[in-house]
Amino acid sequence: MSTDTATDVAFTPVGSVSDLTRGEGRAYAVGGVQIAVFLLGDGTVRATAAVCPHRGGPIADGQSDDTKVMCPLHQYAYAFADGSCNDPAIGTLAVYPSRVVDGTIEVAVGT
């Protein structure tokens, strides 16, 4: 685990960025929390909760672009920026700070 001294956020390594394919997600567990990590077109990563708040769909299996991920069960779209859904009645998807350091994906859960 490493801490970003500028923000005092603790990041946990979850895997290699080479394990990801652009536009697809992968599920990981961080501190007992299931997360989904996505590699964007510009090479950055985004991390969200792994389970859709609507009906528990596997978010890592959803289609994504550089701004959002779509749940594969009912096609609700969630913004990577803030987890907001295209249908406000559904609620938001948790999003987590993430980064790539020397080829390793790091995610901060619980911040």
Which amino acid makes up residue 5? T
**CATH code for the domain in which residue 46 is found:** 2.102.10.10
Which pair of structure tokens corresponds to residue 2? 């490493």
Domain count, the chain: 1
Rounded distance between C-alpha atoms, residue 90 and residue 8, angstroms = 32
**CA pair distance 83, 85, nearest whole angstrom:** 6
What range does the domain containing 67 cover? 2-107
pLDDT of residue 1: 52
Q: Distance (Å, rounded) from C-alpha 97 to C-alpha 14? A: 13
Task: Express each pLDDT in 8-25 by its tens digit.
Answer: 679 999 999 999 999 889
Query: What pTM did the predictor assign?
Result: 0.88
Q: Is the pLDDT of residue 3 over 70?
A: no
